[in-house]
Structure 1
Amino acid sequence: MNKDPTIDRILITAAQKITKDFSEVLENDKCSRSIVISGLEETLQELPPSERQGILKMKPPKCLTC
């Protein structure tokens, strides 16, 4: 840590801003790669992505089975 309280506050503020900005960029990136299909229920977020994908493949929405 820096001994100068002014510099310390500046560094803490900058670190918080970077973390917040990175979180927003990451969330926007996730949303931009998402496909939403009406009628398809979301799987539990606690499951690993590979298991969620397997569950989704087994339950196609009704609109695709017509």
Structure 2
Amino acid sequence: MAKTGAKADSGPVAARPPATGSEQGERAMAQQQEMKAAEETYTGFLSLLKVGSIITAIVTVLVVLLIS
């Protein structure tokens, strides 16, 4: 095996200090913004799914009528 110069054990990782009140508030706001974006994406997906299902049903009925 070739040596890359990286050590297998780089030692303990420094612990992150506890978050302050403003950091927690910023995280909460970021999570709310992410949730809002996720909800908008999901709503758009559901709308597209509904429209696509209706169009598929109409095309299916037309094809069945043309075949019969």
TM-score, structure 2 length as denominator? 0.48
TM-score, structure 1 length as denominator? 0.49
- Give the number of the structure whose residues are more often helix, by fraction: 2
